[in-house]
């Protein structure tokens, strides 16, 4: 009964606002539907944006829905207001930058699709399907589907952004799933220095260094592989290591 009373009150306030543009009626409608705005904003709580900012943006969307709603079209206010509020929040993310450069044509298509969703929702009384949106906008089904993909590029998540797991009530962040420090990354600079130093070593000396320190072959095995004496391998290895040492010292002091 409480829900019915609130629904009746919403209809009366909407009728009053539509007739007289009474600001008090609009304010009462905003207060009555603020919980709806907060629930919709919570869907975006992993975006890294403060909830207070999203609620403010969502409230603007609610006000737009109040101003645009036409009860004579037969749809309920809630079914009309939800896509308007969500659309306003998504526009906020769009206007605050893209994670990647999105072509202007695709951005324009998305805006047209968002507007079509709002209008069709009120006219049809339900969230429109992709074919219905395509027919209304004149886009192909593929183009409409493509605009929905644009939302993925709205904004990169912060590593500290928290989200809920599907199978747990615990809240975690991306940082919680990052592994231990990457040893390969830690040694990247040293590998680059070594590659530069190897440029000063001839091809046969490079082969000996590789076979000795990367393949783990003994000097006798290397000698057999290259068809030279073990003493020759030892001499070439010592020469190569001296060249590398000298080159690395120069790089570190540069």
- CATH number of the domain that residue 247 is part of: 1.10.10.10
More confident call, 223 vs 145: 223
Alpha helices in the chain (DSSP H): 2-20, 23-32, 34-42, 51-68, 77-95, 104-124, 130-137, 141-150, 183-186, 188-198, 203-213, 219-226, 230-253
Residue 203 domain boundaries = 183-253
pLDDT tens profile 128-183: 888 889 899 999 888 887 777 665 555 554 545 555 544 455 555 544 544 444 45
Domain membership of residue 170 (yes or no) is: no
CA distance 38 to 50: 12
The residue-averaged pLDDT of 61-68 equals 91
Shared domain for 222 and 133, answered yes or no, is no
Shared domain for 65 and 122, answered yes or no, is yes
> Tokens 């905003």 label which residue?
30
pLDDT at 179: 45
Domain membership of residue 166 (yes or no) is: no
CA distance 85 to 42: 12
CA distance 29 to 9: 9
Shared domain for 201 and 113, answered yes or no, is no
pLDDT at 96: 60
Shared domain for 146 and 202, answered yes or no, is no
Whole-model pTM above 0.85?
A: no
pLDDT at 89: 87
Domain membership of residue 144 (yes or no) is: yes
- Whether 208 contacts 238, CB under 8 Å: no
Shared domain for 142 and 210, answered yes or no, is no
Shared domain for 25 and 103, answered yes or no, is yes
Cα dihedral sign, 26-30-31-33: positive
Query: Among 23-27, 66-70, 170-174, whose mean pLDDT is lowest?
Result: 170-174
Domain membership of residue 245 (yes or no) is: yes
Domain membership of residue 203 (yes or no) is: yes
Domain membership of residue 219 (yes or no) is: yes
Question: With bands split at pLDDT 50, 70 and 90, how would you rate the model's confidence at 186?
Answer: very low
Domain membership of residue 82 (yes or no) is: yes
Domain membership of residue 164 (yes or no) is: no
> Tokens 């290397």 label which residue?
222
Shared domain for 42 and 103, answered yes or no, is yes
Domain total in the chain: 2
Shared domain for 48 and 142, answered yes or no, is yes
- Whether 121 contacts 80, CB under 8 Å: yes
Shared domain for 216 and 148, answered yes or no, is no
More confident call, 147 vs 96: 147
Shared domain for 138 and 29, answered yes or no, is yes
Shared domain for 248 and 133, answered yes or no, is no
Shared domain for 39 and 135, answered yes or no, is yes
> What percentage of the chain reaches a pLDDT higher than 70?
71
More confident call, 185 vs 171: 171
The backbone region for 101, taken as left when phi is positive above 0, alpha when psi lies in -120 to 50, beta otherwise, is beta
pLDDT at 252: 58
Per the prediction, the chain carries an average pLDDT of 76
Helix or strand run (H / E) with residue 162: strand 162-164
């Amino acid at each position: 009964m409480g829900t019915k009373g609130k629904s009746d009150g919403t209809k009366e306030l909407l009728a009053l606002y539509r007739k007289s543009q009474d600001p008090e009626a609009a304010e009462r409608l905003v207060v009555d539907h603020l919980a709806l705005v907060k629930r919709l904003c919570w869907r975006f709580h992993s975006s890294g944006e403060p909830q207070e900012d999203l609620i403010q943006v969502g409230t603007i969307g609610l006000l737009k829905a109040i101003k645009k709603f036409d009860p004579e079209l037969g749809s309920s206010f809630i079914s009309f207001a939800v896509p308007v509020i969500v659309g306003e929040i998504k526009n906020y993310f769009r206007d605050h930058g893209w994670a990647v450069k999105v072509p202007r044509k695709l951005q324009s298509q998305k805006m047209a699709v968002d507007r079509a969703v709002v209008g069709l929702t009120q006219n049809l009384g339900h969230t429109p399907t992709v074919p219905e949106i395509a027919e209304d906008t004149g886009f192909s089904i593929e183009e409409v589907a493509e605009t929905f993909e644009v939302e993925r590029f709205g904004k990169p998540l912060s590593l500290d952004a928290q989200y809920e797991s599907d199978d747990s009530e615990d809240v975690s962040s991306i940082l919680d799933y990052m592994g231990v420090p990457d040893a390969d990354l830690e040694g990247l600079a040293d590998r680059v220095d070594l590659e530069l130093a190897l440029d000063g070593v001839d091809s046969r000396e490079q082969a000996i260094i590789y076979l000795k320190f990367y393949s783990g072959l003994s000097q006798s095995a290397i000698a057999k592989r290259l068809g030279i004496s073990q003493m020759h391998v030892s001499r070439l290895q010592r020469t190569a290591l001296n060249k590398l040492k000298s080159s690395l010292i120069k790089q570190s002091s540069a």
